Amino acid sequence: MRQITVATIQMAPRLAEVEANLERMGKWVEDVCRDQKVDLIVFPELVTTGYECGVRFADLADQVPGHVVNYMAKRAADFKVHLALGLVEKQKVESVIYDSAVLIDPQGEVNTTYRKVHLRGEERLAFRPGYRFVASETSFGVLGLLLGWDLAFPEAARCLTLQGAELLCVCTNWERPHVNAWRNYVFTRAVENSLFVAAANRIGEEYTYNFFGNSLIVGPRGEVYSALDEEVEGYGLATIDLDEVRKNREDTQLLQVRQPRSYREIVRMY
């Protein structure tokens, strides 16, 4: 068995208060890891800044590595845990910023940086889209990172699955009234790819959005390992066996019986 313990953090970031959010994130890592061995902690999307920052995102953006990553890397190394979290990333050309996620390993090193591909609504005014999905090798298995609306696109999760992903870490800011869509997408991505999904959704209100939480950890057969209540700050915790992914894929032949030559329309521009 390849058992790992995964936590999803459900919190309400303070809008445009990076230092306050980092302090709270560090405290969450301490609280989760204090009483048990945890292998991976997943935070929400844009957890260091909040969502409705508009033009302020440019001032709040940070390089990778930079202050935000260095702060959380120290917590990862202190507690020997992988951390997945969302942030605003800037390049050396500071006018170019991304809605990004990073995976930090237990040595405090950046394993992977992912830039959100599917931008929604006003996100397109603030961020430049990413263009690729990259699965990440870790000490316990292969992970994939997704952000927010990426979850609505089956191609995103399937690309990571075909690269060997056994667990999707989804950092999100899903808002009301889309609770049913959120749940359906999480379960569908897990079952259609026969993998685990650890999806951390934020809570709280901003100017025009109300975020509902309901963070989930779901298995390759649609089993619920952890489900947090809506609007409640806290964390979900589950011990999962990544060998279940391989076993279920062998039982169903889900990937082996694919017919890529019949799927050409999928990659055509609309």
- Please determine, for residue 94, whether its predicted confidence score (pLDDT) is greater than 90: no
Residue 98: predicted pLDDT: 97
Please state the rounded mean pLDDT for residues 203-225: 98
Please state the rounded mean pLDDT for residues 167-180: 98
- Please determine, for residue 197, whether its predicted confidence score (pLDDT) is greater than 80: yes
CA angle, 35 then 38 then 41, to 5°: 115
> 85-94, 186-195, 196-205: which has the minimum mean pLDDT?
85-94
Percent share of the chain, pLDDT over 70: 99
Summarised one tens digit per residue, pLDDT across range 3-59 is: 999 999 999 999 999 999 999 999 999 999 998 999 999 999 999 999 999 999 999
Residue 91: predicted pLDDT: 87
Domain edges within the chain: 3-267
Residue 149: predicted pLDDT: 97
Residue 92: predicted pLDDT: 77
For residues 40 and 105, give the distance between their C-alpha atoms in angstroms, rounded to a whole number: 9
Residue 267: predicted pLDDT: 85
CA dist 40 to 32, 110, 142, 164, 240, Å?
10, 14, 12, 18, 11
In sequence order, which residues have a C-beta less than 8 Å from that of residue 92 and are 6 or more positions away? 63
Residue 95: predicted pLDDT: 81
- Please determine, for residue 119, whether its predicted confidence score (pLDDT) is greater than 80: yes
CB atoms within 10 A of CB 95: 9
Residue 71: predicted pLDDT: 98
CA atoms lying within 13 Å on the CB side of residue 111:
25
Say if residues 158 and 127 touch (Cβ distance below 8 Å).
no
Summarised one tens digit per residue, pLDDT across range 228-244 is: 999 999 999 999 999 99
- Please determine, for residue 83, whether its predicted confidence score (pLDDT) is greater than 80: yes
Q: Give residue 75's identity as a one-letter amino acid code.
A: R
Please state the rounded mean pLDDT for residues 137-141: 97
Residue 212: predicted pLDDT: 97
pTM higher than 0.75: yes
User: What would be the CATH architecture of the domain defined by 3-267?
Assistant: 4-Layer Sandwich (3.60)
Mean pLDDT over the full length of the chain:
96
